[in-house]
Structure 1
Amino acid sequence: QQQKCKQYMSAELKIPTPHSDCKTACILLGQSLKSDLMCQFENHIADFMDGLIEESMILEAAPVSAVFSSSLSDKERGKLRHLHPHSQGKQFISRRSLLDELFEVNHIRTIYHMFIAALILFILSTFVVDFIDEGRLVLDFDLLVYAFGQLPLVVCTWMCMFLSVLLVPYNLFHLWCQSQSSSHGKSRLCSWLFGSVYLIYQTLGLGFLPTYVVVTNSFPPASCFIIILEQVRLMMKTHSFIRENVPRVLTWKKDKNPAPVVPQLSQYLYFLFAPTLIYRDKYPRNPVIRWSYVATKLLQVLGCLFYTYYVFVRLCIPQFRSNSLHLFDLRAMVLCVFNSILPGVLVLLLGFFAFLHCWLNAFAEMLRFADRMFYKDWWNSTSYANYYRTWNVVVHDWLFYYVYRDFLWMSQKHFRTVALLCVFTLSAVVHEYILAVCFGFFYPVLFCLFMCFGLMFNFIVHDQRKGPIWNIFMWTSIFLGQGVIICLYSQEWYARHYCPQKESSFLDFLKPRSWSCQRPLMADS
């Protein structure tokens, strides 16, 4: 536009000769100013129209994820302008974690300092009590040693799981890609064959065998959590890899392009360690690795681990050690729930900070993974719908793209409520499966809370609920739910410890023993 203006001015403006009169000079000067003003006006109009077109392209792509995504900030909208507007999948962009930005504010960082001060008081109180009872400083960590027992077997089990995930799905997919260049009938038979082998591997190789190893060797809780959580993570990773790449090969076959785009093994390996469950060939990367940042995050994970240890030692174990188990005592149950709220909330916050912030950011930094939006501002939620979207963005993205949206695609965008129920059911079943295997008993407290109250509140306390009163309601219900979870699972754990059965059976695994165990708790934990 500026070039057009220069050409127009050079054609219209003529410098007067020395013999020209003053009137002619004034006329030419006015024409020059008029041309300059018109050029500036046209430039502003062009910039304005470009901005409107760019914003309309962003809004055109926004409804794809508007069902499960909260409103974007101005900063995120500005970054999204550089993305392809018609992409249907998750877009990865370079951004920091929200807590890293908030901790730069002194007022917010003071809250972090308050938690550190509370940890110091937990440690001092434990030392003082041990010194009074024993007459000496006791520096044993029996609970941690027990919880993380059999670590060599845990490492061997994880290595076998990881190597199988690295080799089996990738080679199956690579062989299937090669079979697609043959005739239609043969390629279809190969698709059924490789698909069946893949499902068998997911069910038996990655689903049954790790669980069998954990149960038969009686892994302690923390070691069991490591294997089972890794099992679920790797199953979700392999599904994402297959789900994202199979449509590309089918599109290649349909369009008859020269060759399909098969990911390299290094790309698949990077994805297995990357802090995301959505496969992409490339992710935004940071230029350097800040090893001091990695060390800080890993030290914070270790601090959260010891923090959780002292929460159980000072707040949970004394409470359940001093109580007696009854068939059913409503008064004792109510007191137990309210006494368990504080440790339950502390465990929730510590788990969020240790895993979703510190652990994922440490791995993201080592891999130079630039998209650090592992969570959003869930603490400001005024609805359960927004809380579920923002609490764990990594898992939410997987559920949205591979469960909710794929269900809508198969049902031709009908039955949206059924799709939402499928997401809730799958999430509740997996959570309860993890707790049942790791604790050694089936006590569906979390499943009932998730499927009953969580699902009900998702429709009642929806996104139209605004205002501070709904945020207070959110926190109150979360506090109460954590108290119920800590109380009931702890009672069942102690009941199975102090009222063991001579012969274990599957029915005993399903039947809550805290309903029938009446033996008082011993002095030891």
Structure 2
Amino acid sequence: MEPMGTHLRRREGLGGEPEERPSGEGNTETHRAPDLVQWTRHMEAVKMQLLEQAQEKLVELLDRAIWEAIQSHPPQDRPLPSPHPAPLSKTQKPSFGRRKVFVVRKSLLELVLEFDLLIFSFGQLPLALVTWVPMFLATLLAPYQALRLWARPRAGGAWMLRAVLGCVLLAAHAAVLCVLPIHVAVKHELPPASRCILVFEQVRLLMKSYSFLREAVPGTLRARGCEGIWAPSFSSYLYFLFCPTLIYRETYPRTPSVRWNYVAKNFAQALGCVLYACFILGRLCVPIFANMSREPFSTRALLLSIMHATLPGIFMLLLIFFAFLHCWLNAFAEMLRFGDRMFYRDWWNSTSFSNYYRTWNVVVHDWLYSYVYQDGLWLLGGRGRGAAMLGVFLVSAVVHEYIFCFVLGFFYPVMLMLFLVIGGLLNFTMNDRHTGPAWNVLMWTLLFLGQGIQVSLYCQEWYARRHCPLPQTTFWGLLTPRSWSCHA
């Protein structure tokens, strides 16, 4: 009898001769080793197969993308080439004789600049410029002639007739400025940029006329009892109509010369801002909001659209600031040798909304402070600063909402609510007592959110009114936001 530990098992070898192997633990380890090697080889084969399949899918996707790019830009002188065949499987033999075929095609990452939005926005520009001419002439002649009529000495009933005639001139001037641009914009359906030119000039000329009369009439009435006529010079009034300020003065500080290269640079930068704004709208806003009104309304979709619009909204805000308050006003200031060029302050460092409103647009703020806030305090007898400040916000909010309504062609009081309600509350709560970087971060965060709300809601309403026109025009139909019910 052989011991158990040395018991041998017989096994057929490769040559057919019996082979003896030990049993027990050695037998188990000998069986595990070939199984592990075989499993490893199987996994390697599976891995290679998955990699080959993934590579085939990737090549197929790239070929399809190239073929679609070729189809989108077909050659003009020959038909389209046939699409590339699908990648060869492992069972097919590769074609070693295939040659590269050159076709007219664009790079996948090429930037394509489209000017369709720019051309649409500035459509009928000559008509807008022609409409501006009577608006300017009415502002140039009517207020100045009315002032000269009032400046004449009293002479019985003749002065009363001149006073009435002066009032008639001012009424005609107001009618031309207020009615003519609205009539032209509505009748000829001017696009947004052309409307923007008319409404900005309408508001600017009205504010300039008011400032001229507000500054010149008191002195004229005081000097009326003297012999002769006292009135500001016509050249000073003409200069005031073009210089970049809304506060009339007889004289302004002047620079010694004009740097025409500086003028050209500012106009070129302003044009670049306009092109960049059209690019942002065409790439970041139109693809998102063009078909949004055709989908069912949901709070999630609305919040996502507002978040998406924050970045293009803040870009538009910065572009408007730089193009108008810096480039445009500096160009006119340089041409007219206007010395005081503080059109804005460092509003980006503001830690309160009250400081932001004072420093964002100094030109408009000076007008509001002089003729709304200070005159309001004078009418209230020096009391009621809060009421006077509320009057400033009311006038500013109404004018901003009117501008948006004029440019877009519909009434949707988003700007009115944001400026008057939210802006007024922030002005009184985030006042100058708050300082520190954290408040500046909060101000920027609220600016981002506010711009996102404006861009999102106005874009939705713009496309909703095109997708869901009213079957019958009614007053309440014009005032009711179409984006609330449009699901075309």
Query: 1:219-276, CA deviations, whole angstroms, 9 ceiling, x for partnerless residues?
Result: 00000010011000000000011000001112224xx555554112111111100000
Corresponding position: 1:182 with 2:127: no
Matches within 5 A, 1:80-91: none
Corresponding position: 1:426 with 2:381: no
Q: Within 2, Cα distance between the matches of 1:214 and 1:505? A: 19
Indicate the SS of the match to 2:257. coil
Aligned residues: 386
Matches within 5 A, 1:140-151: 140-151=114-125
- RMSD of aligned alpha carbons: 2.0
Q: Within 1, Cα distance between the matches of 2:307 and 2:206? A: 37
Matches within 5 A, 1:8-27: none
Q: Within 1, Cα distance between the matches of 2:185 and 2:417? A: 25
Amino acid at match of 2:367: W
CA contact (8 A) 1:445 1:485 kept: yes
* Superposed displacement of residue 503, structure 1: 3.0
Corresponding position: 1:229 with 2:218: no
CA contact (8 A) 1:327 1:515 kept: no
Partner of 1:279: 248
Q: Within 2, Cα distance between the matches of 1:432 and 1:292? A: 37
Amino acid at match of 1:206: L
Change (3 A) 1:198 1:417: farther
Which of 121, 134, 146 is the aligned partner of 2:72? 134
Q: Within 1, Cα distance between the matches of 2:250 and 2:150? A: 19
Matches within 5 A, 1:245-324: 245-253=216-224, 256-257=225-226, 259=228, 261-321=230-290, 323-324=292-293
Which of 125, 131, 153 is the aligned partner of 2:127? 153
Change (3 A) 1:504 1:187: same
Change (3 A) 1:302 1:131: farther
Change (3 A) 1:467 1:232: same
* Superposed displacement of residue 203, structure 1: 3.7
Indicate the SS of the match to 1:182. coil
Amino acid at match of 2:360: W
Amino acid at match of 1:168: A
Partner of 2:430: 461
Structure in which a larger fraction of residues adopt helix: 1
Indicate the SS of the match to 1:382. coil
Q: Within 2, Cα distance between the matches of 1:481 and 1:202? A: 36
Change (3 A) 1:274 1:450: same
Contiguous gaps of at least 5 residues in structure 1: 1-127, 520-525
CA contact (8 A) 2:135 2:177 kept: yes
Q: Within 2, Cα distance between the matches of 1:336 and 1:139? A: 24
* Superposed displacement of residue 414, structure 1: 1.9
Change (3 A) 1:349 1:132: farther
Q: Within 1, Cα distance between the matches of 2:451 and 2:114? A: 28
- TM-score, normalised by the number of residues in structure 2: 0.76
Partner of 1:339: 308
Range moving further from structure 2, 219-228 or 501-510: 501-510
Corresponding position: 1:370 with 2:328: no
Q: Within 2, Cα distance between the matches of 1:215 and 1:322? A: 26
Partner of 2:348: 379
Change (3 A) 1:189 1:385: farther
Indicate the SS of the match to 1:340. helix
Change (3 A) 1:385 1:259: farther
* Superposed displacement of residue 201, structure 1: 2.7
Partner of 1:439: 408
Q: Within 1, Cα distance between the matches of 2:70 and 2:309? A: 26
* Superposed displacement of residue 335, structure 1: 0.3
Query: 1:388-417, CA deviations, whole angstroms, 9 ceiling, x for partnerless residues?
Result: 000000001111111111111122112221
Partner of 2:177: 206
Q: Within 1, Cα distance between the matches of 2:471 and 2:365? A: 43
Q: Within 1, Cα distance between the matches of 2:387 and 2:294? A: 41
Corresponding position: 1:359 with 2:328: yes
* Structure of larger gyration radius: 2
* Superposed displacement of residue 181, structure 1: 3.8
Partner of 1:244: 215
CA contact (8 A) 2:293 2:483 kept: no
Amino acid at match of 1:165: T
Query: 1:170-190, CA deviations, whole angstroms, 9 ceiling, x for partnerless residues?
Result: 111111212x3435x764664
Indicate the SS of the match to 2:223. helix
Change (3 A) 1:131 1:395: farther
CA contact (8 A) 1:361 1:372 kept: yes
- TM-score, normalised by the number of residues in structure 1: 0.70
Q: Within 1, Cα distance between the matches of 2:463 and 2:122? A: 19
Partner of 1:483: 452
CA contact (8 A) 1:403 1:422 kept: yes
Query: 1:454-490, CA deviations, whole angstroms, 9 ceiling, x for partnerless residues?
Result: 0001010001111111111100000000000000000
Q: Within 2, Cα distance between the matches of 1:446 and 1:429? A: 9
Indicate the SS of the match to 1:159. helix
Q: Within 1, Cα distance between the matches of 2:275 and 2:69? A: 20
* Superposed displacement of residue 207, structure 1: 1.1
Q: Within 1, Cα distance between the matches of 2:165 and 2:446? A: 47
Indicate the SS of the match to 1:241. helix
Matches within 5 A, 1:13-162: 134-135=72-73, 140-162=114-136
Q: Within 2, Cα distance between the matches of 1:353 and 1:364? A: 15
Q: Within 2, Cα distance between the matches of 1:423 and 1:188? A: 34
Q: Within 2, Cα distance between the matches of 1:464 and 1:325? A: 47
Q: Within 1, Cα distance between the matches of 2:397 and 2:340? A: 27
Partner of 1:172: 146
